[in-house]
């Protein structure tokens, strides 16, 4: 069912031409002509507006394999990082976020709870600052709303629930901390999809990123599905779209063209690495003024 939907969507996207940056996925088509099944820019091949279902299948399978292999390569490199290097990069990245104008002005944030064994950029300092209402100098701030992920099933279904303390969290089967849908007083937590105010900022985890905004996740499709849904909800409610900011160790930033993508992959607006913010979209460039 999902695969058929994906094939339909892929075909629709592949037939769109001359799209602006906002739908950057549409500027590429999947090609199975090459044995490596790469992604080509459209212009020179704009006449090729149809591909068969089989070609889409072959290309998507090849892309899935390329993603898997890139994930293993980067995971290995992350395992090779020294504790000191990671800790230095964790501090630098989190300080950059805490000092950024787009973070300071945000009122509602979706962020991940970092998992040490997955070698994810640490978010504990950012989460504490949000939950304690303090800025990087310890000054009191207006309290931001915080939503964190909870996996619902293995079918790419994740929800984001509002929490007010890290004591609201317990480890799931993957040893990632997550909130129960009901709090300790028996009250249903607010799901970000039901929130009455917009989310300004998503802080995203991932395995690899590039300077054109491509993001390779852990392979569950959880973020791609949730972000697409949230973008649709925001558009229906005529809200500004949230800024999508990925947190990345230096070695997770790839040269352009290395990260394979499909039309389902949501591009990020900016990346924060220890070297600073890499603004990608117009929204991020405006936010970095």
Ligand X SMILES: Nc1nc2c(c(=O)[nH]1)N(C=O)[C@@H](CNc1ccc(C(=O)N[C@@H](CCC(=O)O)C(=O)O)cc1)CN2
Among 151, 234, 258, 288, binds ligand X (CB under 6 A): 151
Q: Rounded CA gap, 249 and 119, in Å?
A: 9
Is 130 a residue that touches ligand ATP (CB under 6 A)? no
- Partner touching 225 among ligand X, ligand ATP, none, CB below 5 to 8 Å by kind: ligand ATP
Residue 222 binds ligand X, judged by CB under 6 A: yes
- 169 forms part of the interface with ligand X (CB under 6 A): no
Does 127 bind ligand ATP (CB under 6 A)? Our answer is: no
CA atoms within 13 A on the CB side of 171: 7
- Among ligand ATP, ligand X, none, the one that 174 touches (CB under a kind-dependent 5 to 8 A) is ligand X
Locate all alpha helices (DSSP H) within the chain, ordered by sequence. 2-15, 53-79, 83-99, 101-104, 124-132, 222-236, 282-287
Report how many residues bind ligand X under the rule CB under 6 A. 18
- If one asks whether residue 224 binds ligand ATP (CB under 6 A), the answer comes out as yes
Structure tokens at 118: 């997955």
Among 123, 119, 125, 124, residue whose Cα is nearest residue 86: 119
Does residue 38 bind ligand ATP (CB under 6 A)?
A: no
Largest pairwise CA distance in the chain: 61
CB 83 within 8 A of CB 277: no
Nearest to ligand X of 8, 172 (CB atom): 172
Terminal CA-CA length for the chain: 44
Q: Residue 67 or residue 144: which is nearer to ligand ATP going by CB?
A: 67
Per CB under 6 A, the list member of 85, 134, 156, 166 interacting with ligand ATP is: 156
* 219: contact with ligand ATP by CB under 6 A: yes
Q: Give the burial class of 117: count Cβ atoms within 10 A of its Cβ; 0-12 exposed, 13-18 middle, 19 or more buried.
A: exposed
Q: Least distance to ligand ATP from the beta carbon of 241, Å?
A: 16
Token duo for residue 257: 């063209």
Q: Which stretch binds ligand ATP (CB under 6 A): 27-35, 110-118, 181-189, 210-218?
A: 210-218
Q: What is the DSSP string of 77-89?
A: HHHTS-HHHHHHH
Taking contact as CB under 6 A, which single stretch among the options 40-48, 106-114, 132-140, 257-265 is the one that binds ligand X?
Answer: 106-114
Residue whose structure tokens are 């504790």: 83
Q: Which of 27, 85, 241, 264 binds ligand ATP (CB under 6 A)?
A: 264
Nearest to 241 by CA among 266, 208, 221: 266
Residues that bind ligand X (CB under 6 A): 75, 112-115, 118, 120, 149, 151, 158, 174, 176, 205, 217-218, 220, 222-223
Residues that bind ligand ATP (CB under 6 A): 2, 6, 67, 156, 216-225, 228, 264-265
């Amino acid at each position: 069912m999902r695969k058929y939907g994906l094939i339909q969507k892929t075909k629709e996207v592949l037939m769109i031409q001359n799209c602006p940056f906002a739908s950057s996925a549409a500027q590429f088509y999947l090609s199975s002509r090459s044995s490596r099944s790469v992604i080509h820019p459209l212009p020179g091949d704009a006449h090729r507006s149809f591909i068969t279902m089989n070609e889409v299948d072959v290309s998507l399978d090849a892309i899935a394999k390329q993603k898997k292999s890139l994930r293993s390569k980067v995971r290995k490199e992350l395992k090779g990082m020294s504790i000191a290097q990671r800790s230095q990069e964790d501090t630098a990245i989190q300080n950059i976020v805490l000092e950024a104008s787009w973070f300071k002005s945000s009122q509602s944030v979706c962020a991940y709870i970092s998992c040490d064994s997955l070698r994810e950029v640490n978010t504990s300092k950012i989460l504490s600052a949000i939950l304690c209402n303090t800025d990087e100098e310890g000054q009191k701030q207006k309290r931001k709303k915080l939503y964190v992920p909870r996996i619902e099933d293995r079918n790419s279904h994740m929800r984001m629930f509002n929490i007010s303390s890290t004591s609201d969290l317990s480890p799931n089967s993957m040893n990632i901390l997550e909130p129960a849908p009901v709090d300790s007083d028996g009250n249903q937590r607010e799901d970000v999809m039901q929130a009455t105010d917009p989310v300004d900022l998503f802080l995203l985890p991932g395995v690899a990123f590039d300077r054109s905004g491509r993001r390779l996740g852990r392979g569950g499709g959880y973020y791609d599905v949730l972000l697409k849904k949230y973008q649709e909800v925001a558009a229906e409610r005529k809200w500004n779209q949230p800024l999508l900011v990925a947190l990345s160790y230096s070695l997770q930033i790839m040269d352009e063209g290395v990260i394979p993508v499909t039309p389902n992959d949501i591009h990020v607006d900016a990346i924060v690495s220890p070297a600073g913010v890499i603004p990608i979209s117009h929204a991020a460039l405006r936010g970095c003024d």
